[in-house]
Amino acid sequence: MNREKFEIFVRDRRFHFLLALSFLIIMTALPFSGNMSESERDNITGEMREKFSNMGVFSIFGNNFSIALLTLIPVLGIPWIGQVMFNTGRVLLAFQTSPILLLLSPIAWLEFGVYAYTLMQSVYLVKGLFERKYREMFILLKNTVFFVAVVLMVGAILEVVLYV
């Protein structure tokens, strides 16, 4: 690959990453455009407090890693991660937390970045499968899963150290 093609490749990947990241941020912010009843707010906050009361590194990692892996499923990963981020926005709304505060958290950016990366890779997988590049797509998938696992494990450790 010559230098010019490489620069176009990198520029396109940056654009695709920012597009995926924008989609995730919009889906997270979307619930804030509506209202939530008090009973619904109480249900969500009670459920989340119970769920996260005993979370450690491995449960946080497992939750985030399963979200990322399911996002990698070609075609189905896009609506899946959209729903996950929408539900994340609903939880923030239930706790009456501004989405701006979420954007100030380095852990949130790490997770948003990983999810945007897996979303982008999911689209590349579909493209590669249509082009019958099975070997390249297997390598892409293997490298993506490894990278995502390492980053999310570091994120889970930081989340426990900083927030739990």
Neighbours of 131 (CB within 10 A): 10
CB half-sphere exposure, 156, CA atoms < 13 A = 17
pLDDT in tens, 62-79: 999 999 999 999 889 999
Confidence of residue 3 (pLDDT cuts 50, 70, 90): low
pLDDT in tens, 119-160: 999 988 888 888 888 898 899 899 999 999 999 999 999 988
**Look-up of token digits 């590349």:** 124
Contact between residue 64 and residue 157 where contact means Cβ atoms under 8 Å apart: no
Q: Tokens for 155?
A: 């994120």
Q: What is the pTM of this model?
A: 0.88
